[in-house]
C-alpha cells in the first residue's frame, strides 16, 4: 500500500514488515501503540511539532539528558519535526498520510481537521488507510471537548473509588494504566482492520477512547454493577470474590497469597500445617471462605508469622499455590531475569544503546526486532523530507 518504501536505515522485518505508519500521536497511548507496531516490523514515522513530544520534557528521571518516560515508548521510530501551520510542512504531512498504511493520532477529536489530516480528508487520497484515533472520552458531543488525561479517567471511570484502604482516600494507580490499555486496544483495532483490508481492500476509521478502555478493563468490577446491580467499593488489597487473595504478614514482611480455588486452599493449609482448616465448613468452599474471611485470616497469619516470607514463598509455590513477595521495580526486573524472561534489551549500538523493556510477545517464527533507539527530535528529518518529496516509488 505504502507508495515508496523508506530505504534508509535498517530494513524492517517481522509480521508487519512493509507497512508504513504515520504516527501523529504523542505522550503515551498512541506512542505505545506505534512502538508495538514498530517492534513487529512496521516502519513508523513519528511526526512531532517543533517543540517535540511533551514527554521529552517529563523528567526526572533522565538517561544521558533524555527523559526516560520518552525513551520507554519510542524505540524503532524515525522522527521528523513538522509545523502543521506551515504550508510546506503541512504538504509533507499530507504526503506522508497519503503513503501510509496506518495513521495513528491522539489529537482532540476534530483537531486534525483544521490541517486536512482527519480521517475523511486522508481517506479521499488514501481510501485503503487504516486510521486510528485515540481520545479521552470519544468523539461524540459532550465527550469530544474533554481533556484526555489518564488520571482524569482513573477518577471518572470509578477506578480510584476501588483503589486504597477502605477507610482512606481514593488512590490512582502507580502507572498511567488506561493510557496503556487504550494503546493496546488501538493496536488490536489496527491489526483487525488490516485483516479486513487484506480481505476486501477497504480501509476504515478506528476510534478508541480511554474511558471505554477503562470501563472494559475494570472487567469484574463493572460487571458487578451492570449485571448484578452491585456498586463495588474500596477493599484495600482484598478481593471481593476470593479469599485468601491478598498480602498476608510473615515474620519479615508481607507475602501475596492467592488460593484461587478449593484445591489450592487445601494445598495451602497442608503447607502451613493446618490441614483441618480445609475441612471446616466455614472454609471448605470459596464462597464460605469469602463470607468468613475475618475468622480465617488470623488463623492463616498465625502460621505465616512463624517464618520469613521468602521461605514460605518457596514452599507454597512448590505445593502449587500461587504466591509472591511484594517487590520494588528493580526486584521485579531481577525476578523476570531469574525465571528466564530476559526482560531488558539494548536498542542501538555501543554507548548510544538505550536499555528498554522487551516486547512482551514471543513469536515462534517472526520475533520482534529492536532496530532503532528512540530518536532525537527531527533526527531523521532530512532523509524523510527528501523521501516525501521524491516520486511515489521513493
Which residues are designated catalytic? 179
171, 215, 239 from 220: Cα distances, Å: 19, 10, 11
Dist CA 116 CA 118 (whole Å): 6
Dist CA 370 CA 345 (whole Å): 8
SS (H, E, C) 37-75: HHHCCCEEEEEECCCCCHHHHCCCCEECCEEHHHHCCCC
Dihedral sign from CA coordinates of 338, 340, 344, 350:
positive
Distance, CA of 203 to chain centre: 25
Amino acid at each position: 500500500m505504502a507508495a515508496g518504501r523508506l530505504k534508509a536505515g535498517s530494513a524492517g522485518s517481522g509480521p508487519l514488515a512493509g507497512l508504513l505508519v504515520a504516527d501523529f500521536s504523542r505522550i503515551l497511548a498512541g506512542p505505545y501503540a506505534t512502538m508495538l507496531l514498530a517492534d513487529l516490523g512496521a516502519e513508523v514515522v513519528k511526526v512531532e511539532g517543533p517543540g517535540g513530544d511533551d514527554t521529552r520534557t517529563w523528567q526526572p528521571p533522565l538517561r544521558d539528558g533524555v527523559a526516560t518516560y520518552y525513551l520507554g515508548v519510542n524505540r524503532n521510530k524515525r522522527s521528523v519535526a513538522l509545523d502543521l501551520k506551515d504550508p510546506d510542512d503541512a504538504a509533507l504531512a499530507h504526503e506522508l498520510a497519503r503513503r501510509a498504511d496506518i495513521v495513528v493520532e491522539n489529537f482532540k477529536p476534530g483537531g486534525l481537521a483544521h490541517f486536512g489530516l482527519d480521517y475523511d480528508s486522508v481517506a479521499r487520497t488514501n481510501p485503503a488507510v487504516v486510521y486510528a484515533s485515540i481520545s479521552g472520552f470519544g468523539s461524540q458531543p459532550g465527550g469530544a471537548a474533554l481533556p484526555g488525561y489518564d488520571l482524569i479517567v482513573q477518577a471518572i471511570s470509578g477506578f480510584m473509588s476501588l483503589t486504597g484502604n477502605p477507610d482512606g482516600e481514593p488512590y490512582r494507580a502507580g502507572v498511567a494504566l488506561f493510557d496503556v490499555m487504550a494503546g493496546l486496544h488501538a493496536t488490536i483495532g489496527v491489526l483487525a482492520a488490516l485483516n479486513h483490508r487484506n480481505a476486501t481492500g477497504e480501509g476504515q476509521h478506528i476510534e478508541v477512547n480511554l474511558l471505554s478502555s477503562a470501563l472494559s478493563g475494570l472487567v469484574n468490577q463493572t460487571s458487578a454493577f451492570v449485571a448484578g446491580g452491585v456498586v463495588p467499593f474500596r477493599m484495600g488489597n482484598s478481593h471481593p470474590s476470593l479469599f485468601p487473595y491478598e498480602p498476608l504478614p510473615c515474620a519479615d514482611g508481607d507475602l501475596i497469597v492467592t488460593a484461587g480455588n478449593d484445591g489450592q486452599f487445601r494445598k495451602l493449609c497442608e503447607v502451613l500445617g493446618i490441614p483441618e482448616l480445609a475441612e471446616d465448613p466455614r472454609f471448605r468452599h470459596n464462597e464460605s471462605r469469602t463470607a468468613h474471611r475475618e475468622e480465617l485470616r488470623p488463623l492463616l497469619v498465625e502460621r505465616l508469622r512463624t517464618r520469613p516470607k521468602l521461605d514460605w514463598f518457596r514452599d507454597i509455590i512448590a505445593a502449587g499455590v500461587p504466591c509472591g513477595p511484594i517487590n520494588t521495580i528493580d526486584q521485579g526486573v531481577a525476578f523476570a531475569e531469574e525465571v528466564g524472561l530476559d526482560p531488558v534489551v539494548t536498542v542501538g549500538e555501543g554507548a548510544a544503546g538505550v536499555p528498554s523493556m522487551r516486547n512482551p510477545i514471543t513469536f515462534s517464527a517472526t520475533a520482534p526486532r529492536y532496530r532503532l533507539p528512540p530518536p532525537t527530535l527531527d533526527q531523521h528529518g532530512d532523509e524523510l523530507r527528501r523521501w516525501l518529496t521524491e516520486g511515489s516509488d521513493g
